[in-house]
Amino acid sequence: MPPPVSNRIPPPRKDARIIIHFDYDCFYAAVFEAANPNLKSLPFAVQQKQIIVTCNYEARRRGLHKLQLIREARRICPEVIIELGEDISKFRDASKDLYKFIEGFSWNGKVERLGFDEVWLDVTDMIDFNMETLNVHDLGNSFFQMHRDDPTAGFGFDAGGVAGHTYPEDYIFIREQDVDQITLRLRLGSHLAMHIRHELEREKGYTCTVGIATNKVLSKLVGNLHKPKGQTVLMPDTQGGLGEPCLVFIGDHDIGQVPGIGFKLSQKIREHVLQRSADFDTGLVYGGTRERITVADVRQKADVTPEMLEKLLAGPGSPHGIGYKIWCLLHGIDDTE
């Protein structure tokens, strides 16, 4: 039950969790490539109806892209290899197999699949356990224990830094003796994510892009920064706080890009900010707005409060407290399990 908030006070943050978001690279194409590895070096696309639903990065390098019409794709890249993807059973089976593989790393069973090609993994308990054995005076020679009852099962790593990319990109690493708990926890999460990614590629032949943060929405969004085969961690400021970095990060996103808001709700918010109907592009395969309204634009509008969002967005089928939920998302806060 959300609190009765009727002002613009930011909601409280809860940043004790570490969430890893996995997004398999060009998943539909990767399923075909797993069966025929020769396709990896060739321009390859998967077709449903008359559009490309995905294509590999060799095809993208030659000008092809998702949701492109088949006739346009063949004109731009005549040598493209196209397979029909109408039968989704092969994708469903591959998705289940990869989910079970990632689930095998979990201690707490908090693993959630989104569609066929995305998985959230809550590794908070694994981070808690390994924080207890971390030697803060010798971070460069750390060991991550993968099983509670076997201190020899795991991998060595350098906890003095992050594995992969950081947001912000100009993030300054704190001196070893001054490092805060959130920073250390996110570092451990990044090295665990890298380990799982490498195991996934080695055992299953699939690559993925990963985001590491303290909630599901932020982990999904921050992972988008370095595709393909990259991983990014949303880091705190030099005082160990995530409030300002999260506000800046999510504030740069269009309101329609934030998971949990959705197209219809984002259009209502967009039109409220514009005070008119948004210009809609009907020329796209699935349509879309031409007018970008960022999360920061919404937050800066003086009349936007949880109460006002409830009145704007509530309706048949919407959950009670939708206004407070969206207010939280506007501040990069997502407490869903």
Cα(35)–Cα(105) distance, integer angstroms: 25
**Which residues are catalytic, by number?**
118
Cα(6)–Cα(12) distance, integer angstroms: 15
Q: Which residues is 167 bridged to in the sheet?
A: 234
Q: Which residues is 21 bridged to in the sheet?
A: 120, 211
The backbone torsions φ and ψ at residue 248, rounded to the nearest 5 degrees and listed phi first, read -65, -45
DSSP 227: T
List the structure tokens of 45. 């696309």
* Beta pairing, strands 150-157 & 142-147: antiparallel
- The length of the chain in residues reads 337
DSSP 294: B
The backbone torsions φ and ψ at residue 109, rounded to the nearest 5 degrees and listed phi first, read 75, 10
